[in-house]
Structure 1
């Protein structure tokens, strides 16, 4: 089986070069069209392509003169790109199914692989990096990301079912039957997930293709060193790139020597559509860092504001269909905006301002944390935060963050000023959604502990909620349970808090919600979104406090992820909704474990280990995609007696939560119990060890941890070796370790590795190594 897999991969590769553009055709650097770049930024329908929704559009609107002009200029003739990084999933998706709407796609692996490789070849020959070409495919992601992947895949599976039903109904209405060729297999885009048979074949094919190109293509023969980090290497593609850059920087600081992998004045270009790449590029603090992507007017042709533009095939894109964002321009704009503080702050640092800007952008949403409801990019949240930050910076005489650390007092002060606009936001939602609960005024709250904290009334955290400052503490007994027969006198954890009487002045609310005692939009938010009853006063205050602590922990995890890499593979935010800004109070209390009263503080994380690939598939895939798993594991999604069956509901609801687009809705499905899932998977693997009939060799291979591969072109030895300021490619062969290319240092292999089996599904240690190929 394995032999035939390799043969199939080789077959795909040999055919791919015939479709590649000639070296001569694509030998000149990329240039972009001189059209108005604002028109290339699509309407909100296109923001589904971004990791941080609407961020790219905000930047071009905020700084139109410089940003847009630079986008139009593209990559000038005299700019030499040293390192070129490809976030491959941004290529794999459009090359396989093209984000197609209203049509069924059928699986044709050979054609899909050819298209992927052709597009990589085209990008490589346009940008012409002189040192490194890094191909990063998403591997197993941290648990925090897996929850977002799970929601997205459940939603896409449901939408695919609806599409099939609509197409069938349309054909029936026309008097036809929807005919599907039985010889063809319908393409399930969820197969673009680490651990599937499709991704294993693609990974093998990519390795063979790179070798083939370096042997046969003149451009590749004398081109850059190619690094391939496939789906069997844990980590998101863009974060593998960041690990590589970050650890290369550290090595340079340690040795003081430039190599063919990294130097202090390198020009870095990162290809990808996610706007969070802007944030990742900024925190590297590299002076020459650029982002390359297709113009949104091209990508979204035929949709939204570009519905009258003819859609082009990806293989027809020219250099004029791309745009380049120089992050150095954004840094200069921030430098101009904050230059007055160079005299006001004792140790003024633009890098620290940039880091705070990235932190503020995290507050409007990312793949790992929900954002406060009233902090929306298209509602002006980033501009509001920037204005607030500029106003408060002289008073603070310091910064919000120090890499992964936060100053809790300044952040609480910052959130207090942002919270002023929270009630107005909910009133607006009340009219838009015809929901009287959002119109309830905060003035209806009269309890002493309704608003507490330094910036409100100076009240301490309610005694019933103090224990929530500690992770893992348990809430007090429910007052509702007490009313149902439990003697309150036997529950000393309950506070002597007067019962909540509810809102008395809003008849529309009482008619809509006769059983609710919510007095304000705040009570209604936690009651309707998280199920925390207003009348269960002590328990709800505890849960709201724990909610804020989890959110603060999430902010620290995010900062670590951007600045240092994955701090914990197991951490995730255990709520579907964020806390309200008005609850972000007494934040200093969460740092009780800090041995020193430091200015900047952080939470401690345990690194843990990535999920094994097959366990990760079981975690993120919906039951409609069970065929992408080995049958022994796929049954766990479908069989009524499966211990995991409750995590795969046949139907689920989505909450728009104030958003307009369906893809922005909150998918209400349960979080996976990681311990139960891993234990169940391990039982299947142990049974396979004993009986040897549950998994095929290729299925076992899909669960093994891989390594990053380096391909050094033969022509590299003929190039001069110069370690001067603007170094050329070195003839020295790189170390067998590639910085940042593998899992985190403490990460270990999957349950089904070639090393001796250890019970526990994630306990076999594998050194961080790569394979050099020549």
Structure 2
């Protein structure tokens, strides 16, 4: 899902799911930071397996939000190593670590990746042009100019499968595993196994992790009380964790720190970040890196909340449809797809901020007993029941949009009132402080207080594009917000005007650092102003306004003619419902089709999905699996031309992205549209790029892929997972040695089975496998591993078995920490429009809108 608002919604509705981690200060031992007491109990509870969604580590370590940009790739590797060390000290897994880097994604995800990367390149160009204009303005004013950025800005688009960057990153992580296994005291104590699934193994990192968990838990000797901990920041990890139906599953993630509590990496002060620092100190340490604290999300506790929320269904279900909490969990996951996921645009009438999840849950509890079946069945979508569910959501769409228009009008009025007050304050300041000085002060206030934050709900307020911020951070070695996890920064506090005239500035020479900082801040403000297009691009569709708002939506967004509207609605209904079914299978059984994608930039209305009960796409066998793209095929699908050379795309393929008469040139527009779609800021816009024509792309690339050089073929190959362990791991050591001996004897493909309750699969030797390897360091200054204590082999999962939505027998349930009183807590339902949204659906159902007390349901 990747929806920041969803995580905040979870924290408000179910506050006990979150707990802060305990992090002991490590000590240095032989040049390594290790826990103070290696023999103490794990401070954050016992965990068997730790799963790492590595892209969530690679991105912030390569272009950090709260610290200086790395000097080079080696510095990035060091950042990643230190971040991993810190996670291991906190979690201390006892059996397994699974490291998953995003591989080639399904086509359904590539469209989002393509939009992000093209927009990132566009924003980089916008920033560079604005930066040059600002330099010219400063030069014309006779001001001291900042130093031009040394070196080039890191292009985060290279964090894509098939690039030189990720190929070298995989080699660096393999070195890290060998080094820590051999030399790190904590690793030597725990002796956990490591599986590395790098970018040459297809599928997104989190879905490779889920596939591994599903296949392991299907084995007869699997330990049902395995304690899982998954690292990652995306909100969809909560849904994926619930979908496993494992009894002990937690997520560890960084705490999102409000700007008011952040520490400046330049002056060391709090209340601002380095990009907003106005300190005069010139001796600040630019090398400071901020360590955010971690928090753990307990899915067993979330399940306890959901059990209470669904409890009244226990006595209301008919004899023909028994109550099954595990299936209710699956239906909850499915309902959340409607408000946002990485593969489909959300339904126009549904929004987490407007209370849509609360609304859907209230509707679900009311109507499930009359539906004859649940909405889903372990990846299968029961479309007849889904259609009945959607009928209710579609029936209130008109009122939802009208309510939204009223809220927006109210916020605009409040915003105008605030502006009027600011203008009045500016006049007072001018009268007290003198014409010239007052005018300058008024300008400063307008820049600080006239942000568009007041126009939007607090959760959506933002004063900059996160990608612009990332570029600024790299350009000036300062921090700003980060695009890959595009959670908007907290609302800035407006400074009240002072009646004292500002003191004249001293005419002293400014240091280079101060000049750079002032230039950075001026550039940031210019970019902020470019982001706010609320006045320049007003919403012309105005959903809910007048009698024909649905037609306006389809005519303007999809360019549909009146005569074609009926046929078009049938096509988009089928496409969107296929998408819902595709996502559900992906979450529960693995990728159902590598080639399917939703072919529109916008979603239909819930009311226009009525009729979906007659479609066949809910069946698990509906989709044709197909094959994933090769890495270079994905690079040509998602990267803009400006990132092609840095990514290592071969020259002949780069020409296809640039030549005017290229048969693929229409895939790479120099300019493309942005549709705010009723929003205000460009970072919220829909990116209107043409979709890739897969048959044409593969046909044109075929001859070029056949001529790749050997080192390019390595990057374009489809790889295998690798398993690593300590040579004292006798069960694994024996199987690895047999597999490696077969490999070195020329028996490629001969595999050894490993099956010891903690790991099930097959092993095969490889060129870097076996034991006692010498591993070269990828970082100057870090030593080679002369004789590694690590053993390794290629790893293959056991044969696929259908995943089941049930708790396994023999589990030990965690103690209850949630009770009925927690559900009645008044603060729990505040914010996110929960109660108004719930009342709206209850009125549509003919209910009085009063909430049932959870005590009565127990």
Shift of 1:699: 2.0
CA contact (8 A) 1:369 1:573 kept: yes
Q: Helix, strand or coil: the match of 2:729?
A: helix
Shift of 1:359: 0.2
- 1:155 pairs with 2:119: yes
- 1:390 pairs with 2:365: yes
Q: Helix, strand or coil: the match of 1:86?
A: strand
Flag the 1:72–1:179 CA change in 2: closer, same or farther, 3 A: closer
Equivalent residue for 1:329, pick from 260, 279, 301: 301
CA contact (8 A) 1:716 1:731 kept: no
Shift of 1:419: 1.6
1:599-748 correspondence to structure 2 within 5 Å: 601=619, 604-627=622-645, 628=647, 629-686=649-706, 688=707, 695-717=708-730, 735-737=761-763
Instruction: Indicate the residue corresponding to 1:462 in structure 2.
Output: none
Question: How far apart in 1 are the matches of 2:247 and 2:259?
Answer: 29
- 1:94 pairs with 2:94: no
Structure 1 residues 76-107: Cα deviation after superposition (integer angstroms, max 9, x where no partner): 84721000001000010000012589x9x676
Flag the 1:230–1:162 CA change in 2: closer, same or farther, 3 A: same
Question: How far apart in 2 are the matches of 1:680 and 1:100?
Answer: 43
CA contact (8 A) 1:408 1:601 kept: no
Equivalent residue for 2:356, pick from 364, 375, 381: 381
Instruction: Indicate the residue corresponding to 1:283 in structure 2.
Output: 243
Flag the 1:265–1:299 CA change in 2: closer, same or farther, 3 A: farther
Flag the 1:195–1:550 CA change in 2: closer, same or farther, 3 A: same
Question: How far apart in 1 are the matches of 2:162 and 2:178?
Answer: 23
Shift of 1:683: 2.0
| Unmatched runs of 5 consecutive residues or more in structure 1 | 1-49, 435-511, 594-599, 689-694, 720-728, 739-767
Instruction: Indicate the residue corresponding to 1:248 in structure 2.
Output: 216
Question: How far apart in 2 are the matches of 1:386 and 1:72?
Answer: 31
- 1:210 pairs with 2:210: no
Structure 1 residues 139-167: Cα deviation after superposition (integer angstroms, max 9, x where no partner): 00001001100001111111111122222
- 1:528 pairs with 2:553: no
Equivalent residue for 2:11, pick from 60, 85, 88: 60
Question: How far apart in 1 are the matches of 2:204 and 2:230?
Answer: 14
Flag the 1:114–1:399 CA change in 2: closer, same or farther, 3 A: same
Instruction: Indicate the residue corresponding to 1:458 in structure 2.
Output: none
Question: How far apart in 1 are the matches of 2:651 and 2:289?
Answer: 40
Shift of 1:735: 4.0
Instruction: Indicate the residue corresponding to 1:343 in structure 2.
Output: 315
Q: Helix, strand or coil: the match of 2:392?
A: helix
1:219-618 correspondence to structure 2 within 5 Å: 219-222=186-189, 223-251=191-219, 256-258=220-222, 263-297=223-257, 308=271, 321-345=293-317, 346=319, 347-427=322-402, 520-534=548-562, 536=563, 539-591=564-616, 601=619, 604-618=622-636
Question: How far apart in 1 are the matches of 2:194 and 2:359?
Answer: 43
Shift of 1:52: 2.6
Flag the 1:397–1:174 CA change in 2: closer, same or farther, 3 A: same
Question: How far apart in 1 are the matches of 2:255 and 2:600?
Answer: 35
Flag the 1:769–1:610 CA change in 2: closer, same or farther, 3 A: farther
Question: How far apart in 1 are the matches of 2:72 and 2:682?
Answer: 29
Shift of 1:227: 0.8
Flag the 1:321–1:661 CA change in 2: closer, same or farther, 3 A: farther
Shift of 1:771: 8.1
Equivalent residue for 2:138, pick from 169, 174, 178: 174
Q: Helix, strand or coil: the match of 2:90?
A: helix
Question: How far apart in 2 are the matches of 1:561 and 1:605?
Answer: 11
Structure 1 residues 344-370: Cα deviation after superposition (integer angstroms, max 9, x where no partner): 324211110000000000011100011
Q: Helix, strand or coil: the match of 2:353?
A: helix
CA contact (8 A) 2:42 2:92 kept: no
Flag the 1:388–1:737 CA change in 2: closer, same or farther, 3 A: farther
CA contact (8 A) 1:83 1:132 kept: yes
Q: Helix, strand or coil: the match of 2:762?
A: coil
- 1:195 pairs with 2:180: no
Question: How far apart in 2 are the matches of 1:120 and 1:248?
Answer: 24
Question: How far apart in 2 are the matches of 1:344 and 1:425?
Answer: 29
Question: How far apart in 1 are the matches of 2:104 and 2:628?
Answer: 7
1:9-28 correspondence to structure 2 within 5 Å: none
CA contact (8 A) 1:341 1:394 kept: yes
Structure 1 residues 32-87: Cα deviation after superposition (integer angstroms, max 9, x where no partner): xxxxxxxxxxxxxxxxxx713411111111123x235x457899847210000010
Flag the 1:651–1:174 CA change in 2: closer, same or farther, 3 A: same
Structure 1 residues 540-597: Cα deviation after superposition (integer angstroms, max 9, x where no partner): 2011111001111111100110000101100100111111111111222222x9xxxx
CA contact (8 A) 2:731 2:756 kept: no
Flag the 1:731–1:239 CA change in 2: closer, same or farther, 3 A: closer
Flag the 1:171–1:302 CA change in 2: closer, same or farther, 3 A: farther
Question: How far apart in 2 are the matches of 1:67 and 1:300?
Answer: 25
Shift of 1:290: 0.3
Question: How far apart in 2 are the matches of 1:660 and 1:377?
Answer: 18
Question: How far apart in 2 are the matches of 1:210 and 1:72?
Answer: 24
Structure 1 residues 615-674: Cα deviation after superposition (integer angstroms, max 9, x where no partner): 100100012212121221111111111111011111111111123453332100100001
Between the two proteins, the alignment pairs up a number of residues equal to 574
CA contact (8 A) 1:710 1:771 kept: no
Shift of 1:269: 0.4
CA contact (8 A) 1:140 1:232 kept: yes
Q: Helix, strand or coil: the match of 2:624?
A: coil
Bigger RCO (CA 8 Å, 6+ sep): 2
- 1:144 pairs with 2:114: no
Structure 1 residues 494-536: Cα deviation after superposition (integer angstroms, max 9, x where no partner): xxxxxxxxxxxxxxxxxx89xxxx96111111101101122x2
Flag the 1:705–1:78 CA change in 2: closer, same or farther, 3 A: closer
Question: How far apart in 2 are the matches of 1:94 and 1:655?
Answer: 28
Question: How far apart in 2 are the matches of 1:149 and 1:314?
Answer: 32
Instruction: Indicate the residue corresponding to 1:763 in structure 2.
Output: none
CA contact (8 A) 1:295 1:321 kept: yes
Instruction: Indicate the residue corresponding to 1:457 in structure 2.
Output: none
